[in-house]
Amino acid sequence: MPTEDASGRVISAADANRRLQVLDDYERTGISWIWATDAEDRLIYFSPAASESLDGGLDTLLDKPLSDLFEIDPDNAERTDRPIKFQLKARNKIAELPVRLVRDRYQAVGKERWWSLSGQPKFDAGGKFEGYRGSAKDITTAYVRAREDSRLAEYDSLTGLANRHRMNRKLETTLAAYKSAKRSCALFMMDLDKFKQVNDTMGHPAGDNLLRQVAERLRAILGDKGEIGRLGGDEFQVMLPDIDDRGQLGDLAEKVIQMLSSPYQIEGKRAIIGASVGISVAPYDGLEAEEIVNAADLALYAAKNSGRGTYRFYSVDLKDEETERQELLDDMREALATGGMEMHYQPVVRTKDNMVVGFEALMRWEHPERGNVSPGVFIPAAEESDLINQLGEFALRRACEDALAWPETVRIAVNVSAKQFANKGFPAIVSQVLEDTGIAPDRVELELTETVFMGDVDVTDETFRILKGLGVRLALDDFGTGYSSLSYLRSAPFDKIKVDKSFVDTCTQKNENSAKIITAIIGLSKALGMDTTVEGVEAFDQFDLVTEKGAEYIQGWIYSKARPQADILEYIANGGFKIEPSGPETYRPERRSVFRRIGVIHEDCRYDAVMRDLSKTGSRIEGLVGVPVGTGLVLDLGGGQLVVCRVRRSQDAMIGVEFETPLVSDGAGGLVTRHRVSPYALAAAGMPLAALPPGNYPSAMLGESNGKPQFLQVAVQKS
């Protein structure tokens, strides 16, 4: 109990005036403020000292609904706080809630102030709500510092993109939410090609500058389609919610690669890099974040092994790709040592008189166990190792030696990879081959692609100077498929431009600009005094179009496929060096020969069959007898890929079908469906919710066949 002497000093609960004086003194300290609302949640009192933090004073706030005055940080997406209006309506206790005055209405932009709001609902003796009573204090300095610390922990300080920590958490939370919502989510994993070379030759500040420009380009390309992150070094990741269309994803990946591969200006110098992209899609390639990341990583690894500058979708057969690649390299070394590699030659023909003016040397490899191995497989693998230099020297030497047996007016063209070209010893190798074989330098044509410009500019220019000094010719291959070919023509001493086959493939199709592009390239080369060769002409409709556009030289199957030296010598011995064009009247999209076991679904019956060839628009299928023309079918290609099609040809056990929706590229020369059957659909049919297993499964999804088969199924063996 207070002493008698202290009774005058102690403020009792009944002394309202002195208590009010203490409250006034406390409010003036600015440590915190007092506020109150009425039963309608309107602000009826706020400490006068708070007016110092307001542009218009307390009158702008009083008698306004509290929920209209304050807002929770809209930039902090990770906060789980309910909106203020919800908390007030629920009569919840408010405890140290960070808020700010609503911008543009009660507080000017750029004068942001953060307050910590606390309050308790007040009820009368009968339980009727009378309003809130609470306190508030200014926490601007501490809150802004904490938010900045949080931002630094979530974002990459160099590029401003999300960092690995944020991307991992974002992917985990998104996939967890999407499981119940049965939604899809795609993931891009990206590496920059040749970035290390920029860092080594131009310095780390230049490398940092380049990474910032890469980040800006990614933001410009992707916009609000998804979350972009930098995982570290030259590794980037993009999360794309609600996209599973592989056609759309492939187009987007191509755009990313193209934009990131255009030249960068850094401190007055030009730097050129490339990009490779691996793509996975949940729930088809996995349900958990770790599964999707691993799948995209494997796809990226495959894209880089395919020659870089490309994209690749994940598929189950990528899991053993690293082992497969090493075995391939070992076999390639043995083939080089034992004569297993050979050169074939495809003629380049002058259109005005159909005379052969040259050959392009193309490497062929007949493996004793694998059979014919495509250059599209072994060349990229060699480029990932030092083996490409040995392979390239072999090709150049053998081609020059073989060309000595041809007429002296006929040139030989040899492909040179960017890695060969970047080798400082490459000009010396060319010089040695010329000296050893004695071939005239102007009969040798080195075919280069734009990727040679991804190296050091000064080294590239010096290599060009030395090669031209040797007297060899230079050709720019695959022209028009890169981003900025015109700048290369201005600076590099090319003698020839080669129009890429991709333009020829589509030059006769409606709504395509390929014919206009071919016309422009031919006109440009003539203006620059260069020759032009149009590649990949296979049919007369293409032949007629490109010759009408002014093509003087053509290389394609309409004249001849690549042939071994023995065939070329036999042809020369028979006195012929003129080839008449021969081929189909119209071009058909390329069909790939395959032997692939698939399922064929008709009404409520399922059959096993074999796909013999495949294109974007159709396929030839063996194994069913008695299928009428016009029959509608569904093909199960495995891995969730179902294709609706209609029979256009039928003879014995072979049918030809046309797809309702064309297939799309998988980024590695293969074809896939745009969409896949989700494992969520399988779960709805009673199957466990898990990543799709490899192989065929629609029978499990559709249930057992109860109908009577209408077609005869026959067994098909691989010949």
For the stretch 370-429, pLDDT in tens is: 778 878 778 877 887 778 999 999 999 999 999 999 999 999 999 998 889 988 899 999
31 or 543, greater pLDDT: 543
CATH of 341-573, one of 3.20.20.450, 2.40.128.50, 3.20.20.70, 2.60.40.10: 3.20.20.450
pLDDT tens-digit map of 133-162 = 988 888 888 887 777 666 667 888 899 899
CATH of 592-713, one of 2.40.10, 3.40.190, 1.10.30, 1.10.3470: 2.40.10
Q: Is 520 helix (H, G, I), strand (E, B) or coil?
A: helix
Structure tokens at 576: 């012929």
545 phi/psi in degrees, rounded to 5: -70, -50
Which pLDDT value is given to residue 481?
Answer: 64
In this structure, are residues 493 and 308 in contact, taking their beta carbons and an 8 Å threshold? Answer: no
In this structure, are residues 233 and 181 in contact, taking their beta carbons and an 8 Å threshold? Answer: no
What burial class does residue 579 get, using C-beta atoms within 10 Å of its C-beta: 0-12 exposed, 13-18 middle, 19+ buried? middle
Range with top average pLDDT, 299-303, 322-326, 478-482? 299-303
Which pLDDT value is given to residue 199?
Answer: 80
Range with top average pLDDT, 5-14, 238-247, 446-455, 698-707? 238-247
Mean pLDDT to the nearest integer, 327-352: 91
Q: What is the pTM of this model?
A: 0.57
In 310-386, alpha helices (H): 321-338, 375-383
Which pLDDT value is given to residue 103?
Answer: 56
The domains of the chain are located at: 16-147, 155-314, 341-573, 592-713
pLDDT tens-digit map of 647-690 = 999 998 899 999 998 888 877 667 888 888 776 665 555 444 33
Report long-range pairs for 419-424 (Cβ below 8 Å, ≥24 apart): 419/383, 419/388, 419/389, 420/388, 420/389, 420/392, 421/448, 421/452, 421/455, 421/460, 421/463, 422/452, 422/455, 422/459, 423/389, 424/459
Which pLDDT value is given to residue 123?
Answer: 92
Fold of the CATH domain 16-147: Beta-Lactamase (3.30.450)
How many other CB atoms are there within 10 angstroms of residue 537's CB atom? Answer: 30
Biggest CA-to-CA distance, the chain:
135
Structure tokens at 360: 């392009």
CA trace torsion 43, 48, 53, 55 (10° rounding)? 70
Report how far residue 38's alpha carbon sits from residue 121's, in angstroms, rounded to the nearest whole number: 10
Which pLDDT value is given to residue 484?
Answer: 47
pLDDT above 70: residue 4? no
Mean pLDDT to the nearest integer, 295-320: 81
Which pLDDT value is given to residue 25?
Answer: 79
CATH class of 155-314: alpha beta
